[in-house]
Amino acid sequence: MVENRLKGLGVTKKIGIGKAVKLTDSGVVIHKTRITDTEAEVCKFYKVRDLFIEETENLFKDLSQKLDNNEVALIIQSHIAIVNDSQFEEDIKTQIVENKMCLVWAVDVVCSSYIKMFSQIDNEVLSQRALDFEDIRNRLAVIINGNEKSSDNRITISVPNAVLVVKELHPSMTARMDATELLGIVVENGGETSHAAILAKALGIPTVLGVKGACELIEEGDTVVVDGDSGEVIVRPSQEQLKVSDEKRTHLIDSEKELTVYKDKETCTKDGVSVSLYANIGSEEEAVRVNEFNPDGIGLFRTEFLFMNGNNMPIMEEQLLAYKNAVLASGERILTIRTLDIGGDKEVPYLGLEREVNPFLGLRGIRLCLEKEAMFREQIEAILRASAYGCGNVRIMIPLVTNIEEIRAVKGIISSVKETLNATHTAYDENIKVGIMIETPAAVIMADAFAGEVDFFSIGTNDLTQYTMVVDRGNEKVAHLFDTFSPAVLRAIKHVVSVADAAGIEVSMCGEAAADAAMIPVLLGLGLRKFSVASSLILETRRNIASWDVESAIEIATKIMSETSVEEIRRYGSDL
């Protein structure tokens, strides 16, 4: 009997059971149907081609205005030449007329043959052509599926009760996904703290990552059980397996319901020590939704998803509206807006950034923003103007800081944007607080110096673990080495908390470790009193914090900090 269970990393404590929908890597659905009316399908091709050309021309105009690098814009324009090419047109027509393929299938087959051909050529320039055809295929498919311009850029899963099966879950895919009908996500690659996983968690969709062989074993339409708790994926389950999974699903739903009593409670330890519990959000809409869980504010607003949602950079006014809505949703509570953190696994194709050999060590986070200063200034302006709608509660947070010059450069830009706002008598919060993410070993080591420059720290354990342990956070091959309980990471956290306390500046934690049940007593014991977690984990974290008193937390932290082996620490943790 063929084993129908696959194993991966579960990232949401939920089970979903549904029908498999497979997406290409780009997030585009290729539904393969045989058609009878070939003439109508050929006509559809011409209409779609016209829409594609119109959209590409607009894209070209936008890019030429926004990018210094005109070459990228020219590449985009060359896509028009490709779809207009008579050979391309003939190839598509042949698949439709002779093989009775529907248009999206024909486009996929034709483009795939060009992708294959060009990627085999041992010439850098020509092999790049493969990427052009990938792009063309995806954009044509989006237009065909929606029969509309792809500019709204959302991925709609039209099949009810769908389980999405993909090789890679790009962050932009999760950001663009209309997830209302989605019961689960199975991803062949990816680690727990990859940005795609963070978004899946925020959406509360049962998700399992790093499921080797998933795309091969799972066929379109198969029934699939996605156990985001155990990390198990069951393909074409037997009646018995379905029954067991369904019982577990009901049980998990019941436990989630039990958590609702924590909705209106204050966050504090068993012995009554007050703790601030903030939310991590990725959109203005989430700033509204999260109020249901009554957080003390937003500890991290990942603004990059605003930039990844569309085909164009959001202009200042669009950003202002998004931030303003988040400010209004936050009332008097803290709202920490993190400036653009792209690069690494978060790509924004329209920026036309060059591919890097080591993107996580490359032009990412604040480095990119300082390089693209005009873009950064627009974001700062939008945040400052949005702060006028708050009550001194809006804060700016800078990602991936490694040296003091970056902090000073950012502060210089903020001052200069303030001056331009003053010149036009535009309102903003003059005393807006500026803080940094502590998520690189350099920032940990320099924490005492950085404390003199900023108003607050937020520890980003996802990147801090990645960079301290030299483990790619999205790579399942080394996922076993990605452990925030590693003594090196724990010592880094301890150091940052004590430096911040000594300097009298606020320190919180917004990495995924802040919501880890086993980590919570350690963090409390180290003196951390501000936690920022995915909105779907607020109630669970509130309950976990309430189950510890500070004295026992200190005891646990002291014991754990005396250990030098991660295995010993884990063993001790599991005995608690």
Active site positions, annotated: 195, 510
Gap between the Cα atoms of 162 and 129, Å rounded: 34
Gap between the Cα atoms of 98 and 439, Å rounded: 57
Q: Which residues from 281-340 bind ligand PEP, rule CB under 6 A? A: 300, 302
* Token code pair at residue 474: 């999205």
Integer-rounded Cα radius of gyration of the chain: 25
Name the segment binding Mg ion (CB under 5 A); options: 63-71, 164-172, 275-283, 461-469.
461-469
Nearest to 469 by CA among 459, 479, 480, 481: 481
Q: Which residues from 432-461 bind ligand PEP, rule CB under 6 A? A: 439, 460-461
- Beta carbon of residue 194, minimum distance to ligand PEP (angstroms, whole number): 9
Q: Contact between 341 and ligand PEP (CB under 6 A)?
A: yes
Q: Contact between 463 and Mg ion (CB under 5 A)?
A: yes
Please choose which of Mg ion, ligand PEP, none residue 378 contacts, taking the beta carbon within 5 to 8 angstroms, the exact cut-off set by kind: none
Per-residue 3-state assignment (H helix, E strand, C coil) for 37-84 = CHHHHHHHHHHHHHHHHHHHHHHHHHHHHHCCCHHHHHHHHHHHHHHH
In 100-227, where do the E strands start and end?
155-156, 162-166, 177-178, 182-187, 207-209, 223-227
- Beta carbon of residue 195, minimum distance to Mg ion (angstroms, whole number): 9
**484 with 569: CB under 8 angstroms?**
no
Size of the site for ligand PEP (CB under 6 A): 11
CB-wise, 91 or 472, nearer to ligand PEP?
472
Name the segment binding Mg ion (CB under 5 A); options: 35-43, 403-411, 436-444, 522-530.
436-444
Q: Hey, is 231 helix, strand or coil?
A: coil
Q: Hey, is 450 helix, strand or coil?
A: helix
Single-letter residue type at 452: G
Single residue of 172, 393, 402, 462 touching ligand PEP by CB under 6 A: 462
Q: Contact between 155 and ligand PEP (CB under 6 A)?
A: no
Q: Which helix (H) or strand (E) holds 150?
A: none
Q: Which residues from 118-147 bind ligand PEP, rule CB under 6 A? A: none
- Beta carbon of residue 202, minimum distance to ligand PEP (angstroms, whole number): 11
**Contact letters for Mg ion, residues 391-430 (x by CB under 5 A):** ----------------------------------------
CB-wise, 146 or 362, nearer to ligand PEP?
362
Dihedral over Cα of 144, 149, 151, 155: its sign:
negative
- Beta carbon of residue 298, minimum distance to ligand PEP (angstroms, whole number): 13
Q: Hey, is 405 helix, strand or coil?
A: helix
- Beta carbon of residue 437, minimum distance to ligand PEP (angstroms, whole number): 6
- Give the pairing of strands 232-235 and 506-509: unpaired
- Beta carbon of residue 459, minimum distance to ligand PEP (angstroms, whole number): 7
Residues 6+ apart with CB under 8 A from 442: 402, 403
**208 with 232: CB under 8 angstroms?**
yes
Single residue of 369, 510, 520, 534 touching ligand PEP by CB under 6 A: 510
Please choose which of Mg ion, ligand PEP, none residue 510 contacts, taking the beta carbon within 5 to 8 angstroms, the exact cut-off set by kind: ligand PEP
Gap between the Cα atoms of 321 and 71, Å rounded: 32
CB-wise, 103 or 500, nearer to Mg ion?
500
**396 with 337: CB under 8 angstroms?**
yes
**538 with 293: CB under 8 angstroms?**
yes
Q: Contact between 460 and Mg ion (CB under 5 A)?
A: yes
Please choose which of ligand PEP, Mg ion, none residue 206 contacts, taking the beta carbon within 5 to 8 angstroms, the exact cut-off set by kind: none
Q: Contact between 476 and Mg ion (CB under 5 A)?
A: no
Size of the site for Mg ion (CB under 5 A): 3
- Beta carbon of residue 401, minimum distance to ligand PEP (angstroms, whole number): 12
**17 with 241: CB under 8 angstroms?**
no
Q: Contact between 201 and ligand PEP (CB under 6 A)?
A: no
- Beta carbon of residue 191, minimum distance to ligand PEP (angstroms, whole number): 12
Q: Contact between 516 and ligand PEP (CB under 6 A)?
A: no
**185 with 202: CB under 8 angstroms?**
no
Q: Which residues from 545-564 bind ligand PEP, rule CB under 6 A? A: none
Residues 6+ apart with CB under 8 A from 251: none
CB-closest chain residue to ligand PEP: 460
Name the residues that contact Mg ion, by CB under 5 A. 439, 460, 463
Name the residues that contact ligand PEP, by CB under 6 A. 198, 300, 302, 341, 439, 460-463, 510-511
